[in-house]
Structure 1
Amino acid sequence: MRRVIIAGLLLTALVATGAAEQLTTVAIINIDRVYNTFYRDSQEVRELERLRREYQDEIDAQVRELQNLRQRHTIALDQNNTITATRLESQIAEKERFIEDLARRRRAQLEARQARLLSDDFLNRMQQAIQYVAETEGYTVVLRADTEGLQWWSSTVDISDKVLARLRTISR
């Protein structure tokens, strides 16, 4: 009887030790890469990129006009034409304010479109895909690749491609 009790205690100690030594496995996911790859062929993303180029071209054209005004201002100063130089200074200040406002408005418009694109539905599907891959692959923790403090990781723990494949599967 004593041997049975000792064997039982030893078995309990072994099981408790084994449970305490559970290994934590960590995976890394690059959310930006998953998002960009998943939506690369999307009409909405192509439209967003078209607008981004269009807005940048619009801002670039305004910057060229500003540079032209600055050149004309320099020429007016070189020719001691203070009336023209003063008028151009006013136009330059106005153009600078306009460009700043235009850039701010366009950036807000692009951010709003991108926020609509990255909807709650997509985030829910991505979370489901991450959870599925982590559970099926045996990972206990999944960290974002852009998390502050991560210095290096092996490509073997990067589950971005697996999550992307799972997203494609559940999105059909």
Structure 2
Amino acid sequence: MSKKKLLFFVVFVLLFSGGIFAQQITRFGVVDTAKIYQAYFRNSAPVRNYENKKAEFQREITKRTEEIQKLKQEKADMSSSGNESAVLKIDSDIIKKTDALTEYTNAKNIELESMKRNLQNSDSFYKKLYSVLERVSENEGYSMILSLQQNNAILWYSSSVDVTDKVISELGL
């Protein structure tokens, strides 16, 4: 191989490889925020409070359900003995207690759902999450982090992939 060809080949390889390395490789990451949320809040006081309230409400529901079951058994006993006035009174109590249980359950479910929403929308958690996402992404060379739970949700992106100013410039604005 002549010196000219060798020199041409070396220059070509250097230019070609320089062009490859000059291009930025965009890397995407995905984050399971639900899994992070569970791990982060697993032992926190607000989650323990939520779990305690949930258990307390369930105990009360179980207690009221058992009372209704006892009344139904009493009603069956009174019905078999032919005491119709007692059956009517017990039936009225069953209806009142069942309605009260339904109202209690609905109210407590709303309360628990509100507590859960407040936990999930914790500003301090999300500030910390986004700060850590940025640090991990930059250290690992990611350009963009997407949410596993939400379609098309970008949780973090590097300014190097933002071409907004270039588009505005090209539009002549």
TM-score range for the pair, normalised by the shorter chain length: 0.5 to 0.7
Does the 8 Å CA contact 1:134/1:142 hold for their aligned counterparts?
A: no
User: Which runs of structure 2 are paired with 1:25-44 in the superposition (5 Å)?
Assistant: 25-29=28-32, 31-44=33-46
Percent identity between the two aligned chains: 23
Uncovered stretches (5+) of structure 1, i.e. residues with no partner = 1-10, 149-172
TM-score normalized by structure 1?
A: 0.61
Residues 99-118 of structure 1 aligned to structure 2 (within 5 Å): 99-118=101-120
Q: Which residue of 1 aligns with 2:157?
A: none
Alignment check: 8 A CA contact 1:66 1:92 kept: yes
Alignment partner of 1:71 is 2:58:
no
Alignment of 1:1-172 (within 5 A): 25-29=28-32, 31-118=33-120, 119-139=122-142, 140-144=144-148, 146=149
Structure 1 residues 135 and 61: alpha-carbon distance in aligned structure 2, compared to 1, 3 A threshold: same
Please say which of residues 131-140 and 106-115 is displaced more in the overlay: 131-140
Q: Residue 25 of structure 1 contacts residue 138 of structure 1 at CA under 8 Å; is this kept in 2?
A: no
Whether contact under 8 Å (2:57, 2:108) holds in the other structure is yes
Which letter does structure 1 place at the counterpart of 2:52? R
The secondary structure found in structure 2 opposite 1:142 is strand
Show CA shifts across 1:8-56 (max 9, x none).
xxx89xx69x96xx66634241x23322221222222222222211111
Name which structure has the greater RCO, CA cutoff 8 Å, separation 6+: 1
5+ residue gaps in structure 2? Answer: 1-14, 152-173
- Do 2:27 and 2:141's aligned partners in 1 also have CA atoms closer than 8 Å? no
Matched residue pairs, number? Answer: 136
Structure showing greater Rg: 2
CA RMSD of aligned residues (A): 3.2
